Structure 1
Amino acid sequence: MTDPVAQGALDALWQGAGLPGAAPAALTGRDPVLPSSFRLGAAAQAAVAATSAAAAELHRRRGGPAQQARVAMRHAALEFGSERYLRLDGVAAPARWDDIAGTYRCGDGRWVRLHTNFPHHRAGLLRLLGCEGSREAVGRALRDREAFAFEQDAAEAGMCVAAMRSLAEWDAHPQGRAVAALPPLRIERIAEAPPTPLPPLADRPLQGLRVLDLTRVIAGPVCGRTLAAHGAEVLHVSAAHLPSFDDLLPDTGRGKRTATLDLRTQAGRAALRGLAAGADVFLQGYRPGAVAAHGFAPEALARLRPGIVCTSLSAYGEVGPWGGRRGFDSLVQTASGFNHAEAVASGADPADPAPRALPCQALDHASGFLLAFGTLAALLRRAEEGGSWLVRVSLAGTAGWLRGLGRIEGAFGLTVPGMEELGELLERMPSGFGQLTALRSSGQLPLTPPRWALPPMPLGTHRAAWA
């Protein structure tokens, strides 16, 4: 049985991307599937199905047979927590959080969430608070602070903090108003170029297409992982001097090769320009303007490689007073009202609820799949219309899209399944981290099933060159 909300969301995404007809996808299952008042199952299913259907359509236009994507809601929702379902050499290996990350009550009674998983963010917040690195010390220091003022102080220092707001407070906030006017996915033609034909027919939908992946953490890497699952050559480029969250790599690094470049050097920039000149997609998820400052703005890339599809992933969008602000899924959930809304829906005192997070990093994963879908839609359109393209997604915009799917009651009695309950949804492969057990792709194509041909490897394992 198809969930009508999920089907409606899929239809809207397909039409909003400028693709003709209906998405070739069959949806099964209905919400709720996770303990949340938000329709996480519908969001997951629609985002995964849009991407899978676009891969099927691209393969058909290359001369392959027509096929229909098949997405089960429960599987898609579980994929929104894929980093949770990992074992290395038989030992559970979920991503770890820093010991002072999380929520604290400030002196004005409001709550803030700190994100300290990167060492420089942790050190910077401790300097700002003037305390030692323990939860007790941080809690004492924050009792002398006001939540909104500390949020602003942290942002000005380049740190990552969000004060908890209600949905109504976010809607009234200037940044909330700025992103409310934007669709969750924007596909823009940024330069003229002749049509770029799709590669000749191959065994896999995206085989022969090259993707430069300059992303980290979850959302951007999920996009690259998804494109790799359908056969794209994905080269993940990082920098040895930048922090990374290595616990996530066994999950998000599947199907990719990984190299390092230092864009602070002339040689590093020249090497990336050479790679970009041969790329179909330039995927980047750093803070707005960070990669552009090294000479890789979308307009510059379009001059270097006419017909390129550039993507931009940000926390709060590039518009509004927070347009350049650093952020992560957990912070956007807190700032935009989700933690407050979930707490109240689960029975907390509406006047003073403690934050309750969504049961998965839904904004990250949804944004990753939306970015992958937008990328495929842009590749289809450049083959027909020509041009160079820019695809934009933000976590805050995705949050608004998720809210727009509506709320649901009676889900808090559900539990998040453990890994031992997943059975045939798991796959096993050797990796650079040990024997890996992880969640399979939920977007199935019967004739060209998604798979990761390459195992995940530590950062910098490969040369910075196309295969």
Structure 2
Amino acid sequence: MNVEELVRGLGAETGIELPPLRVTGGDPVLPSVFRVDTAAAASVGAVTAVAAGLGGGNRAEVDVREAAAAFLDEHHFMIDGVRPTAWSPLSGDYRTIDGWVRLHCNFDHHRDAALAALGLSPGADREAVTRACAGRTALEVEEVVTAEGGCAARMRSGADWRVHPQRAAVAHSPLVSLTRIGDGQAQTPSGTADRPLDGVRVLDLTRVIAGPVATRTLAAHGARVLRVGAGHLPEVSGLVVGTAFGKRSCHLDLRTGRGVSALRDLVAGADVFVQSYRPGALEALGFGPEELARIRPGIVCVDLSAYGTHGPWAGRRGFDSLVQMVCGIAHEGGDGTEPRPLPAQALDHATGYLAAFGAMAALTRRAREGGSWRVEVSLARTALWLDSLGRARAQEGTPEIADLLDEMDSPFGRLTYVRAPGSIDGARPYWESPPPRQGEHPPAWW
């Protein structure tokens, strides 16, 4: 199936008709047996096409190389010529008695949980973790670290994953799930072809890559995006800057009544609410989809998760690299002998663009028929989609994308970044402002 057919399928799945999409360039660009380039072009192409439809554009276009470059965004992002460090020293793959396991320790509390689960003292080094994993099975490490509140994933083959109950739960979900959850008046969009989301207000309660990429994409098409963080929540410093182009940033402590009240006020003025908390976390604070629809009839709620909202792993913490391990991608990439991940955080990026597509598909449905809407996407479902695209002849090396980079001054220094991909009637999406400092703005719309 080619990119145009994949994009038309996404339109049909979400109940909208998309304008024609022109695709330039072709596979392969990135070095992988998986069709990462096709997934990149299809997810970016779907965003571009639905944005064109919202803004009254006639011609949507995506270039395969540009879309693939966007998936490499964090590899090329620099502050004053220096690439920020994205990985903790303890994050990575470890050999076990019977295979491999991956630990994700980028957040301090996840690192501490992994060390405690392995019986190691705080401050233990990578060599100690290597020894601890070498004496256990991969499944044992996965289970004890997860039970302690950490993040771990045993390397499974594709065959192992196909019989796993969570895979079965994920397979029953659409790639982009769009459901009506309440009433609301039809609202005609006020955007234009070059800024189709002009006037759309987006609340961003996400971290790391997938969610921030989704909201950064909405900002590139003209939305007013307010990121809601908190001083006590951990962040990956380079990622939080690189994914914040075009946004404002405020801090709210949702552990307090004042923070909850302030968020309710923001929801009342929002069009789109994007969140990547673990399933159930925001519901407990009164911000589940149905509650959001009561606060703001006509809202679009976008939920991103690692493993979906159903099945035995629905509440499990997860990240792109861990999902690649459990679903067979890392196993196949390394021929089963050792983990070999995709050449990009492709599950994160594809899921981010699909979430942005889902948000705009919901806005399209809202304009046509009114209502409040819920969009659901997950890394594990995106992994199934990528697997379904077939295989490619693996290339060596990485593509040259210097011509796709731009620079911008910011409070952090001179930033180098990959331009937003796609175009509508010849006009490219773009970010109007550099990344803000965290918590720089008040919790208010503008």
- TM-score, normalised on structure 1? 0.92
Indicate yes or no: 2:418 matched with 1:439: yes
1:359 CA displacement: 0.5
Deviations 1:60-105 (A, max 9, x none): 1xxxxx331221101101111101111212x231442111111111
State the match for 1:296 in structure 2: 287
- In structure 2, the CA distance between the partners of 1:144 and 1:73, relative to structure 1 (3 Å rule), is same
Instruction: Tell me if the contact between 2:55 and 2:191 (Cα under 8 Å) persists in the aligned partners.
Output: no
Q: How does 1:170-319 map to 2 (within 5 A)?
A: 170-199=161-190, 204-319=195-310
Q: Distance in 1 between matches of 2:194 and 2:27?
A: 35
State the match for 2:157 in structure 1: 166
- The one-letter amino acid of 1:273's match is R
State the match for 2:349 in structure 1: 365
In the alignment, structure 1 segments of 5+ residues that lack a partner are 61-65, 345-349
Indicate yes or no: 2:107 matched with 1:118: yes
Indicate yes or no: 2:124 matched with 1:146: no
Q: Distance in 2 between matches of 1:76 and 1:128?
A: 40
1:422 CA displacement: 2.4
Deviations 1:280-307 (A, max 9, x none): 0001011111122111001000000000
- The one-letter amino acid of 1:271's match is A
Q: How does 1:13-32 map to 2 (within 5 A)?
A: 13-20=10-17, 22-32=18-28
Q: Distance in 1 between matches of 2:405 and 2:59?
A: 22
State the match for 1:63 in structure 2: none
Q: Distance in 1 between matches of 2:19 and 2:155?
A: 37
Q: How does 1:346-361 map to 2 (within 5 A)?
A: 350=336, 353-361=337-345
In the alignment, structure 2 segments of 5+ residues that lack a partner are none
Indicate yes or no: 2:404 matched with 1:425: yes
1:446 CA displacement: 3.5
Q: Distance in 2 between matches of 1:424 and 1:222?
A: 21
**Secondary structure, aligned partner of 1:430:** strand
Q: Distance in 1 between matches of 2:238 and 2:194?
A: 32
- In structure 2, the CA distance between the partners of 1:77 and 1:203, relative to structure 1 (3 Å rule), is closer
Question: Which stretch shifts more, 200-209 or 146-155?
Answer: 200-209
Q: Distance in 1 between matches of 2:38 and 2:192?
A: 33
1:203 CA displacement: 6.0
Instruction: Tell me if the contact between 1:14 and 1:23 (Cα under 8 Å) persists in the aligned partners.
Output: no
- In structure 2, the CA distance between the partners of 1:188 and 1:444, relative to structure 1 (3 Å rule), is same
- The one-letter amino acid of 1:12's match is G
- The one-letter amino acid of 2:75's match is R
Q: Distance in 2 between matches of 1:130 and 1:23?
A: 57
- Of 419, 436, 441 in structure 2, the residue corresponding to residue 457 of structure 1 is 436
Q: Distance in 2 between matches of 1:24 and 1:246?
A: 39
State the match for 1:374 in structure 2: 358
State the match for 2:51 in structure 1: 55
Q: Distance in 2 between matches of 1:103 and 1:466?
A: 43
State the match for 1:416 in structure 2: 398
Percentage identity across paired residues of the two chains: 51
State the match for 1:329 in structure 2: 320
Q: When the two structures are aligned, how many residues end up with a matched partner?
A: 444
Indicate yes or no: 2:31 matched with 1:44: no
Q: Distance in 2 between matches of 1:57 and 1:152?
A: 46
1:201 CA displacement: 5.3
- In structure 2, the CA distance between the partners of 1:200 and 1:69, relative to structure 1 (3 Å rule), is closer
- The one-letter amino acid of 2:15's match is G
Instruction: Tell me if the contact between 2:194 and 2:429 (Cα under 8 Å) persists in the aligned partners.
Output: no
- The one-letter amino acid of 2:16's match is L
State the match for 1:104 in structure 2: 94
Instruction: Tell me if the contact between 1:84 and 1:95 (Cα under 8 Å) persists in the aligned partners.
Output: no
- The one-letter amino acid of 2:168's match is R
**Secondary structure, aligned partner of 1:55:** helix
